[in-house]
Amino acid sequence: MNRYCVICDRYTPINTRMVWNYAEGGYMCPCCTSTCSKSDLESDDEQAELRKQQDALAAQKAEQEAELARQQAAISAERERLERAEAERVNAENLRQAELARKEQERLDAEQAERDEAERVAREEALRPDLEKLKAYANEFLKGLPIMSTEDGFAMRDCLRIAVESIIEKWDV
C-alpha cells in the first residue's frame, strides 16, 4: 500500500492507520481525514465489500469472455465448414462445366467430320465428269502409242503407260 496521503501528499508512518477517500480514489492520513466529509470516506468493511463486488464482476467478465471465445470458435468452425462446402460445390460445378464443354466439343468435332466427309463426297462427284473425260483421253492416248521396235522404246512406252494409269488411279475413287 502506498503510504503517502492522497490529499496532502505527506508520508504516513506504517503504524498510523490510513483511511480510504472515495472521492479522491486513494488513502488519506488521519490529519486530512478529520477535514473531509463523511461521504468521501469509506470504512475498511465498505472497502472489502467493494473489492468483493469488483472480484465478482471480474469473475463474471472472465466467464463472459470465455463464453464469447467459445462462441467465436464455434462461429469460426462453422465458417470454415461453410467455406469447405462452398469450395466443394464450386469444384463440382467446375467439373460439371468441364464435362459439358468436353461433350460439346465432341459434338462439334463430329459435326465437322460429317461436313468434311460431305465436302469430300461433293468434290468427288464434281470431279467425276472430268475424270471420265481424262480416262477416255488416256485410253485413246495409250491406244495410239506406236509399237516400239527397240527394247528402250518399249520400256519408255511402258513407263508412259504406267505413269498415265497411276495418275488416273490417284484421282479415281
Question: Tens-digit pLDDT profile for the chain (173 aa)?
Answer: 568 888 888 888 888 888 888 777 888 888 888 877 665 555 556 667 778 888 899 999 999 999 999 999 999 999 999 999 999 999 999 999 999 999 999 999 999 999 999 998 898 888 888 888 888 888 887 777 777 788 888 888 888 888 888 887 877 65
**pTM: predicted TM-score of the whole model, two decimal places:** 0.39
- Which structural domain range is residue 10 located in? 1-42
CA gyration radius for the chain?
56
Residue 95 lies in a domain: no
Question: What is the tally of structural domains in the chain?
Answer: 1
Domain assignment present for residue 74? The answer is: no
Q: Is residue 7 part of a domain?
A: yes
- For residue 2, tell me if it sits in a domain: yes
Q: Do the domain assignments include residue 103?
A: no
For residue 15, being part of any structural domain is answered with yes
Is position 18 within any domain? yes
Residue 22 lies in a domain: yes
